[in-house]
Structure 1
Amino acid sequence: MVSNTAKRVMPQRARKEEDKEARRRQLLDAALELYRATSYDEVKMADVAERVKLAKGTVFLYFPTKEALFLALLEEQLFAWFARLEEALGRSEGRWTGARVARTVAETLEGEEPLTRLLARLQTVLEQNVTVEQVRTFKERLLEAVVRAGTLVEKRLPFLKAGEGVRFFLHVHALVVGLRQMADLAPVVREVHAAAPHLEPLRVDFTRELTDALTTSLRGLEAR
């Protein structure tokens, strides 16, 4: 038999958990807004706190470091992308080729600059000042998502051997990191390009180059 005290405590705990999740959601949304408008280096924890009208110390109760906050933001963005990609790969209409898979991956990343920019900082910044628990949770989720997506790619492309779908996404990650850095021009470089049209061949179109690189990679595996 449940006491009246327990009945009163349980809803209060639930509300507290809901309040904590709502506050965490506010902090992530604020960080994303600031990141879209500036850059990782320019976003300060104090700015995030001010955006949601909280004391800076309160922010650290939810995210002990800036890296922890942005790793959580990356995690949210990344797994939302994996969900969209799995949905796209799950569509059965038409014939699937390496070129189609490559195009699907690249097009689902189009317009996802915050995600691709954060991926470019994952190993060098975001995983450097966070807890073992946060990284372990992230890596476990990442492995599950990569295996699911890799299995779907293997089903779409029978020329891939077991396990090569996972390796494909390791290559996707490497290409995304490199091409995002190349595509994001510093202000001074944009100024130079604007004044020197003959430098246009050096400009990187992220979606086009990612599509071409992945297509070439998959065609090579198919032709072996």
Structure 2
Amino acid sequence: MRSQRPTTLTRTRSLVGLRARSEQDKDLRRGDLVRAASELFAGSDFDGVTIAQVAQRAGVAKGTAYLYFSCKEALFLELVQTELLLWEQDLHTCLAPLSTECATNALAATIARTLAKRPTLGRLLVLLHPVIEPSLALDTARSFKEFLLAFIGRISALLATKVPELGATASVTFILQVHALVISVTQLAHPPAVIAAVLDHDPRLHPMRISFEPFMAETLSTLLRGTLQTQKQT
């Protein structure tokens, strides 16, 4: 009996299946590299993490890592986006129990608490503008800013459901202010060892020692109240 040749439809389905599996494998490999970078970064700093170390931890060759990320900065940019999306999920979950028109103190405390749970995000945002972004290719930079635009839109819409009087424009501005505060407060709360030693040694300097979450909550609460007051006056 003559064997039947695969039909065009069969061959097409087979190619589609292979392509799908290939894309799934790429996504998994990409995710493995990002997780490896996150784990290494948790115990080191940006300069202390290399693509070779990331590749080894992810179980791939160094050359393979470069097929996914053109440079270490591009890899860390992916980590920034991953951390932002995880924070967004946390924020949704933690804001859900709050009623509409909730107190500004409760909203500020919730934002501060969810940020404090993600110290890696704070450390990455400190690096984002001076270290990561300058090394990006134009297309990567544009794609990242489009990601941020959509991200800020979702977060501002979420905040508007809790504080309707905040308004769309003020909500976007507030999210950008949160971004700036995370960068500055992260550095204030986690100074270099030499600065921490100086602050600890001299009681007069103790007021300069801050804890991230309470300082962030108080600052955001003050900022929100001021923003809402301004909204009422305009």
Tell me if both proteins adopt one fold, taking TM over 0.5 as the criterion.
yes
Q: Distance in 2 between matches of 1:109 and 1:11?
A: 41
| Count of aligned pairs | 224
In structure 2, the partner of 1:34 is 40
- TM-score relative to the length of structure 2: 0.87
In structure 2, the partner of 1:159 is 165
Sort the Cα spacing of 1:202 and 1:15 in 2 relative to 1 into closer, same or farther, 3 A.
same
How much has 1:45 moved relative to structure 2? 1.0
RMSD of Structure 2 on Structure 1 (CA): 1.9
In structure 2, the partner of 1:18 is 24
In structure 1, the partner of 2:131 is 125
How much has 1:120 moved relative to structure 2? 1.3
In structure 2, the partner of 1:116 is 122
In structure 2, the partner of 1:83 is 89
Q: How does 1:34-113 map to 2 (within 5 A)?
A: 34-93=40-99, 96-113=102-119
Q: Distance in 2 between matches of 1:136 and 1:3?
A: 39
In structure 2, the partner of 1:181 is 187
How much has 1:191 moved relative to structure 2? 3.0
Moved more, 67-76 or 201-210: 201-210
Unpaired runs of 5+ residues, structure 2, are: 1-6
- TM-score relative to the length of structure 1: 0.91
Q: Deviations over 1:100-148 (max 9, x none)?
A: 1111110111121111111111111111112223222222222122122
In structure 1, the partner of 2:227 is 221
Contact 2:101 2:164 in 1 (8 A): no
Contact 2:100 2:162 in 1 (8 A): no
Q: Deviations over 1:146-187 (max 9, x none)?
A: 122212323322432331111110110111111111112212
Moved more, 194-203 or 77-86: 194-203
Moved more, 121-130 or 134-143: 134-143
Contact 1:154 1:164 in 2 (8 A): no
Unpaired runs of 5+ residues, structure 1, are: none
Give the one of 177, 201, 208 matched to 2:207: 201
Q: Distance in 2 between matches of 1:50 and 1:152?
A: 40
Contact 2:40 2:49 in 1 (8 A): yes
Sort the Cα spacing of 1:191 and 1:17 in 2 relative to 1 into closer, same or farther, 3 A.
same
Moved more, 88-97 or 116-125: 88-97
Sort the Cα spacing of 1:37 and 1:141 in 2 relative to 1 into closer, same or farther, 3 A.
same
In structure 2, the partner of 1:9 is 15
Residue 150 (1) aligns with residue 159 (2): no
In structure 1, the partner of 2:3 is none
Q: Distance in 1 between matches of 2:155 and 2:64?
A: 37
Percentage of identical aligned residues:
37
Higher Rg of the two aligned structures? 2
Contact 2:100 2:163 in 1 (8 A): no
Contact 1:154 1:162 in 2 (8 A): yes
